[in-house]
Chains A and B, each alone.
Chain A
């Protein structure tokens, strides 16, 4: 009686269309976006001079624009789906009423319990295990702990013992599991479209190896994904030894080349700068978006946030940002200067000249070109004075998009200011290839064009898609006799290669990785390859002599020499801790080669004036590799709050000049290449520059994906605008209006806020003298209520949260973490337009000030767990009640979907399952679900639960050991991932806990205090530290 179905991943041969909106009814013709934008311009709040507003439409058009000012739900939210006549509707309703009574009478089908044949070691069914591994991005790694339920990974957490990220992770790291369990991943090894076996591939390589042996591999090339893996490094060395004439090249769509070229130019050696941001009192960022929670800069997030509060030891730091677009780092800046990327070299030379008046060693680096604006001169004067006053405790950083010359000057400035050894140190690079941009692959392209290569092995991600248009990589590859591509999808590159190998996900393979500071971690797999994927190690192994060896064996052999005692014991300890000791790179003390630098700077050309195109790595998809990750596609962009799309961000002034509105399709042309992208009027965007994210615009057919009811592409491909000479920016941009419209889905204008003090922001001095927050606090401003006051004294725990908006960068890591932990569904672009996005955390972004140069505050908003919750007393079936410990419980099985609770919630943090998002999930997608959290069906309301499943598990563990829950052992999902420790959770009964301290903080206020909801989640005012000379 062998069972016919297993809950284990026995996979069907075709992926379901579950990636699309499941069973969404036919689309309604939605009205244009104007009807979605709220009309109210928010006036001054109590005692504040700031005016907060939500979008440019509000600010610019005011009351006149829009008829739906007070409309809570956008038009179309309640429309009956098209194609559904009234008579059918009534018939169906009648039938369902009749049937509804009968469904309760049918028996629940018998559930099976499938026990192990042999229980694996260490596994207790029902209790998760955590395995340490590492995730790499741009070749640099962080340590993570992956929660695994009986061999099924379900959640990614940061590894607290890893020195780089110390327990935090970014949005992409949180979404890695959605990539792992993506049913559209490639499964079949192909040669020219026909399925082949791994053995036949190895055989083909072996046959060609004879020819390579003859000429030392002169016709063999490798195009590699950036990596710092010691194992891959050793295999490359072995291949190089076998075929001395073979070459390895690096390829990345987001190269960090200029970082290394900058140090080469400045110091004469290739180095990796390591920033100790916590030691800096003043920070200048030249387009360095270090506060984006990218894997490579997570340590800088925590370091920055630690000095971002008024009570920080050493005082609050000050951040200056110079950039063409409005970035996350720009939003955290105390002072921000809009500046073209092309003019950045001029800026840094002007800064050096200004600094040179008071600081030795910065003279003679060349005169800045062009006529600087008065605004820029004033900025530089104040900036230079501030930096000069903080020698040794300041930091200048340049972003990866900037030129090597800018980087080199930044190093010279840091050296002159005495920062080397304090706020910045230098180590050898941890990566295997320091050239993954043009310097890395141009020699290869030349060889390919010259016909010098017969076999090219590509492990870089999708180079044909990400290649600058002018090198025409697709055509070049088609001429190469044998191209082998290892990729997660049979994509644009797979279409032109001979051999396509489906790549295994890093969570399915053995390997190792290094982080930026050199720390080595072993990458251990969490699950067997779901789709028979192949790892890079195995692929490179096929180019070596001898028998096929498992990556695990190669890995152990490589690291055996590192053990000081018994290797097996130490190996286990490395796997358990996630860190192999002894990998940290030693600091180097370099000296500025001023003469060489000056010679190089003399060769700089004056940039052309005019409109500049700025290409940026997307905050969610990065270079496009996450295009099939629905979590990241639906994640609202931190600044524009757009979902499922990319746009051309244009400045307010330019928009007015060109008479362009958000949603107008524009044709952007650089040289002889163009792309069509919808416009987005972005406050804070430089008028002389247009910013577009790369990575979008993949064609459905290429990916074999069907997004039901969506257009054939998600977003717009701007890689055609990329040139080999400069991947990041180009002058001479021309904009044409196509006269067509494009509908965008964004979350920023849903849920209008009236003129209330929702997100407070103050300058440091103002806060010290007149803190605003006490006005919005129960103790200082208690309000009367008809509801009886409950003291919550008798219970053991009094759960509460605190959000420090001074620390919050708006990176969105918490949103994805919450989605991963709580099985939150993805709804698709159309439903997001109707306001039905299901994220439990909503990152509100408020602008203040002039639209051209705004300031921004980010406020994560989720269920406040109000002690006198307005949602609780309106539920007709008592589905939402208050627990004895302060949680607002949401009981899904009682909920009948009246939505009265959401109606009454003033924070609008409740989300209703309008459609059955959880059905039609393929077997693979079901594996992504956290078994500790109910999967909600259609018709129930859901919201943040303070991670009640974690509270209950930790409570039981603590009660079994007869003790109370410690502060460090219970963290909500959002708190655990936050790179800046902005979120805190804990019990208010513990007066020494972080959350109690924050509840007592001078900056603490309750959002919408005047409604007397007594929320348990409190917020701390965002404090800015402006320079009095620039204010």
Chain B
């Protein structure tokens, strides 16, 4: 007589399989979720205190990124425009519009506008904008078509893997520095993107590092 009833064989085999499979599925799904847009906060709507529309200011008016994000070539932070920069136009243009009443209120109360950060890297990551934009990484490469965004959202995953991929092969993402802020630049027809990238890497003396202390200190 068998000690155990036959159906326990199935239980035994099934539980063995599940013991291997379930944790694997569990871990894999967690890993996938973290890398998914939900985990990386890609394409997520961020509500701002004042509805600033980049489509109007960049596409329609043709204002260069650096007019407002003024420190991007010199500093780790690109800089947000001071309220004075907004008022430099809006003291004259649409200076009575209700859509801009908050801007005027903050300006005259001398209080900073509490923008919500969209591209928010963790505090243990030290990213420096100036070295990237001066070595041929365009704004659109990481931030996407900001000129087509009603409200800015994060287009790239901004995960460490995404950063390291470019650090390992920068030639795939480079452009001449003159086109840093161009949203529509393409290499000339017939020019291979990678070949151009390699040439620019040599020209700009690019040596990307992947040592941990490059970003983590």
Contacts and interface: CB of A to CB of B under 8 A. Distances in A.
Interface of A: 1-3, 6, 108, 110-119, 124-127, 796, 881, 883-885, 887, 889, 891-893, 932-934, 945, 948-949, 951-952, 956, 959-960, 962
B71 A883 contact: no
A871 to B, nearest CB: 14
A113 B115 contact: yes
Nearest to B84: A118
Contacts of B207: 796
A893 B126 CA distance: 12
A960 B130 contact: yes
B8 to A, nearest CB: 32
B74 A115 contact: no
B213 A3 contact: no
Interface in B69-120: 70-71, 74-77, 79-84, 102, 106-107, 109-117, 120
A124 B66 CA distance: 13
A948 B124 CA distance: 14
Given A1-B114, A113-B115, A889-B212, A126 B76 contact: yes
Given A117-B82, A117-B106, A126-B76, A110 B217 contact: no
Contact of A883 (B81, B131, B205, B212): B212
Interface string B11-51: 00000000000000000000000000000000000100100
B74 A934 contact: no
Given A883-B211, A891-B212, A118 B128 contact: no
A612 to B, nearest CB: 52
12 contacts: A115-B115, A116-B84, A127-B74, A883-B213, A885-B211, A889-B216, A893-B124, A932-B126, A948-B213, A952-B128, A952-B217, A956-B131
A111 B117 contact: yes
Contacts of B135: 959
A960 B71 contact: no
B114 A117 contact: no
Nearest to B131: A956
Contacts of B113: 114-115
B5 interface: no
B189 interface: no
A885 B214 CA distance: 11
B122 interface: yes
Contact of B82 (A118, A932, A951): A118
Contact of B211 (A2, A884, A962): A884
A920 to B, nearest CB: 18
B71 A124 contact: yes
B168 interface: no
B202 interface: no
B113 to A, nearest CB: 7
Given A934-B123, A949-B217, A960-B130, A126 B84 contact: no
Nearest to A108: B120
A892 B80 CA distance: 29
Contacts of B209: 884
B134 interface: yes
Contacts of B46: 110
Nearest to B210: A884
Contacts of B81: 115
B77 A126 contact: yes
A113 B213 contact: no
Nearest to B46: A110
A113 B114 CA distance: 6
Nearest to B50: A1
Given A108-B120, A112-B115, A124 B74 contact: yes
Contacts of B214: 952
A541 B17 CA distance: 87
Nearest to B108: A117
B117 A893 contact: no
Tell me what chain A mostly uses at the interface: helix, strand, loop, or mixed: loop
A889 B124 CA distance: 13
Given A117-B107, A884-B211, A889-B212, 8 more contacts: A108-B122, A111-B120, A116-B83, A117-B111, A118-B83, A127-B71, A952-B128, A956-B128
A463 to B, nearest CB: 42
A114 B213 contact: no
Contacts of A962: 205
A934 B126 CA distance: 9
Nearest to B112: A114
B84 A119 contact: yes
B124 A934 contact: yes
Task: Report, nearest first, the 4 A-B pairs whose CB atoms are least far apart.
Answer: A126-B75, A883-B211, A126-B77, A115-B80
B213 A887 contact: yes
A872 B74 CA distance: 35
B157 to A, nearest CB: 15
A2 B111 contact: yes
B212 A881 contact: yes
Given A124-B75, A126-B75, A889-B211, A956 B116 contact: no
A1027 B71 CA distance: 62
B130 A956 contact: yes
B127 to A, nearest CB: 11
A328 to B, nearest CB: 33
A889 B111 contact: no
A264 B102 CA distance: 71
A1014 B74 CA distance: 38
Contacts of A127: 71, 74-76
Contacts of B114: 1, 3, 112, 114
Nearest to B34: A104
A945 B107 CA distance: 42
A891 B216 contact: yes
Contacts of B84: 116-119
Contacts of A949: 126, 217
Contacts of B74: 124, 127
Contacts of A883: 211-213
Contacts of A116: 82-84, 112
Contacts of B205: 959, 962
Interface in B145-163: none
Contacts of B71: 124-127
Contacts of A951: 213
B56 to A, nearest CB: 20
A110 B45 CA distance: 12
Contacts of B123: 934
Nearest to A892: B124
Given A887-B213, A956-B131, A893 B75 contact: no
Nearest to B122: A893
A1 B103 CA distance: 11
Contact of A893 (B76, B111, B115, B216): B216
B79 A125 contact: yes
A869 to B, nearest CB: 14
A796 B213 CA distance: 15
A954 to B, nearest CB: 12
A883 B215 CA distance: 12
Contacts of B130: 956, 960
B118 to A, nearest CB: 9
Contact of A119 (B82, B106, B110, B111): B82
A93 B207 CA distance: 47
A796 B211 CA distance: 14
Contact of A125 (B75, B110, B116, B212): B75
Nearest to B74: A124
B116 A112 contact: yes
Nearest to A945: B217
Nearest to B85: A119
B83 to A, nearest CB: 5
A952 B76 CA distance: 11
A796 B205 CA distance: 12
